[in-house]
């Protein structure tokens, strides 16, 4: 059994067995990422497979095999965003109001939900809101980076995040997870 860095080196030599092992090594970790950006498991599978075609086509350019985890995750996220652009046509939000974002304690709120319940709530968000929410709250991108990735302004990213949070608050209130009403 090869370790992760040995797998990278074998994949760089187009070793098919290593590629299969590498693909399977990341599948359980990254299918969840794919799933957050899609509406169906089939779309998530398509994104995962497309991402790995790109990964295997570009793995020779990976100079530091120790950084493979972050490199693969980034490739999967970018593939999901590209899929979104190609198939769903990002819904431009032209409301550029200044949004003051609160310091919501989402990790504590969501700790009461299973990952499947959280995924179901996030998947109910409109596509643009879901993309921004995932990129900002879950994947840690800032609004400038999100704007660049999605081809929108930084203010649009902020606005869509604010609206996504508000919709999630309403959903959480309906489920009895939170009881406060936003003013």
| Over residues 167-175, mean pLDDT | 85
pLDDT digits 0-9 by tens, 2-53? 888 999 999 999 999 999 999 999 998 899 889 888 888 898 999 999 999 9
Q: CA 82 to CA 41: how far, in whole Å?
A: 17
- 82 pLDDT tier (thresholds 50, 70, 90): confident
pTM score: 0.63
- 69 pLDDT tier (thresholds 50, 70, 90): very high
- 84 pLDDT tier (thresholds 50, 70, 90): confident
- 111 pLDDT tier (thresholds 50, 70, 90): low
Q: ∠ CA(5), CA(139), CA(153), 5° rounding?
A: 125
Contacts of 104 (CB under 8 A, 6+ apart): 165
**Predicted local confidence at residue 181, as pLDDT:** 53
**Which one of 10-19, 98-107, 133-142, 173-182 scores highest in mean pLDDT?**
10-19
Q: Residue 112: pLDDT above 80?
A: no
**Predicted local confidence at residue 109, as pLDDT:** 52
Q: What percent of the chain is modeled with pLDDT above 90?
A: 46
pLDDT digits 0-9 by tens, 135-163? 998 888 999 999 998 989 999 999 999 99
Alpha-carbon torsion 78, 79, 85, 90, what sign? negative
Structure tokens given for 153: 């302004």
Q: CA 152 to CA 145: how far, in whole Å?
A: 10
Contacts of 127 (CB under 8 A, 6+ apart): 84, 88, 90, 91
**Predicted local confidence at residue 90, as pLDDT:** 40
**Predicted local confidence at residue 180, as pLDDT:** 55
Q: Residue 110: pLDDT above 80?
A: no
Q: How much is the mean pLDDT over the chain?
A: 82
């Amino acid at each position: 059994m090869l370790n992760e860095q040995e797998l990278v080196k074998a994949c760089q030599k187009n070793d098919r067995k290593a590629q299969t092992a590498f693909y399977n090594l990341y599948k359980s970790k990254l299918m969840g990422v794919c799933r957050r950006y899609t509406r169906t498991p089939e779309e998530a599978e398509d994104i995962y497979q497309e991402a790995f075609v790109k990964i295997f086509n570009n793995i020779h350019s990976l100079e530091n095999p120790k950084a493979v985890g972050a490199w693969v995750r980034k490739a999967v996220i970018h593939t999901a965003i590209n899929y979104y652009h190609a198939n769903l046509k990002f819904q431009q939000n032209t409301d550029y109001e200044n949004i003051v974002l609160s310091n919501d304690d989402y990790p504590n709120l969501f700790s009461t939900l299973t990952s499947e319940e959280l995924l179901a709530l996030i998947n109910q968000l409109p596509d643009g809101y879901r993309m921004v929410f995932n990129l900002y709250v879950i994947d840690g991108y800032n609004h400038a980076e999100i704007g660049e990735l999605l081809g929108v302004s930084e203010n649009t990213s902020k606005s869509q995040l604010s609206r996504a949070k508000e919709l999630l608050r309403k959903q959480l209130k309906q489920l009895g997870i939170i009881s406060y009403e936003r003013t």
